[in-house]
Chains A and B, each alone.
Chain A
Amino acid sequence: MEKVGDTAELDAEFTALYRAHLRDVYSYAYYRIGNHHDAEDLTEQTFLQAWRHFERARSEANGRPLRPWLIRIAHNLAANYYRDRARRPQTGLEDAAVVSTPHETEQLVEGREELRDVLEGVAALPDDRREALIMRFALGMDNREIARALGRSEGATKVLLHRAIKQLEGALAARG
């Protein structure tokens, strides 16, 4: 039998989930897609879909954090976005971090170029490697969370991250 107040509890939990992870989903969407406009659409769609399946996800999670589930929804929607529109992530990111961090002029120019190289390098990686890096560095997810979001084992995720970083290092070194 359903507990009294279960609906209210469900709504309250979804509200908390939404508030806690709006920035995560948006950051993921932004780095995945590369522009704010489409990142907003993707974020909205992610939460709408999450709401539809929240009750089941909550019961299946057995108390585990739901962030990987949310990011998995965003991941699937982003995959559809590329498939439907035959797009690749944009490399000309309107990178907030680069623009908003105060630097001396020379450092700023140098830093911007370096970070732009990194972002272009990330965008050029295979999808799974790029996603793993976004989850680790933009969202601060650990191996276990990334593994759940990508539907892989923790071991495979660790290897994936390692290879992603190595490939990026190689690409940056090649640029000089």
Chain B
Amino acid sequence: MGELSDTERLLRFALAPVEPPRALGERVERGLTLVAGAAAEELADWELKAMRDPRNWMRPVAAVAVGGAAAGALVLVRARAHHRARPGGLKALDRGARDVARGLRRRFER
């Protein structure tokens, strides 16, 4: 970019970056954690519904999926307990729940 015109200098000053309020960061992290948790619960519901469909019983992976669901529930509980212990952390993006979700998806898609 070449030399700035007067208008560009004014624009740079007038449109200075705005610092977000501290509370906003916490609010966004809380929202992300909730959404991640809701996604994991939705997947768990979907998995239970899938198991009610007899067509899925014929699939050789069904037994593995049932085991996976049980293990998944444990991890989900662990993830929630972990989240409760450390509220507000984006790191607590329900990592365990997402791992379970992905694992279940893979098993069903096989």
Contacts and interface: CB of A to CB of B under 8 A. Distances in A.
Interface of A: 2, 7-8, 11, 14-15, 18, 22-24, 26-27, 30-31, 36, 39-40, 43-44, 47-48, 51-52, 95-98, 101, 114-115, 118-119, 122, 133-134, 136-140, 165, 168-169, 172
Nearest to A172: B7
A96 B18 contact: yes
Interface of B: 5, 7-8, 10-21, 24-25, 27-28, 31-32, 35-36, 90-91, 93, 95, 98-99, 102, 106
Given A51-B35, A51-B36, A168-B7, A14 B19 contact: no
Nearest to A45: B31
A27 B11 contact: no
A26 B21 CA distance: 9
Which 9 pairs, one residue from A and one from B, show the smallest C-beta to C-beta distance? A97-B16, A26-B20, A137-B15, A138-B15, A118-B14, A137-B11, A115-B14, A27-B17, A27-B18
A26 B13 contact: no
A2 B73 CA distance: 22
B98 to A, nearest CB: 5
A168 B11 contact: yes
A26 B20 CA distance: 6
21 contacts: A2-B102, A7-B98, A7-B102, A14-B93, A15-B90, A15-B93, A23-B17, A26-B19, A26-B20, A30-B18, A40-B20, A44-B27, A48-B28, A48-B32, A48-B35, A51-B35, A114-B10, A122-B15, A134-B15, A138-B18, A168-B7
Majority secondary structure of chain A interface residues (helix, strand, loop or mixed) = helix
B25 A23 contact: no
Contacts of B99: 7
Contacts of B8: 137, 165
B19 A23 contact: yes
A47 B34 CA distance: 13
B28 A138 contact: no
Contact of A40 (B7, B10, B27): B27
A165 B7 contact: yes
Nearest to B106: A2
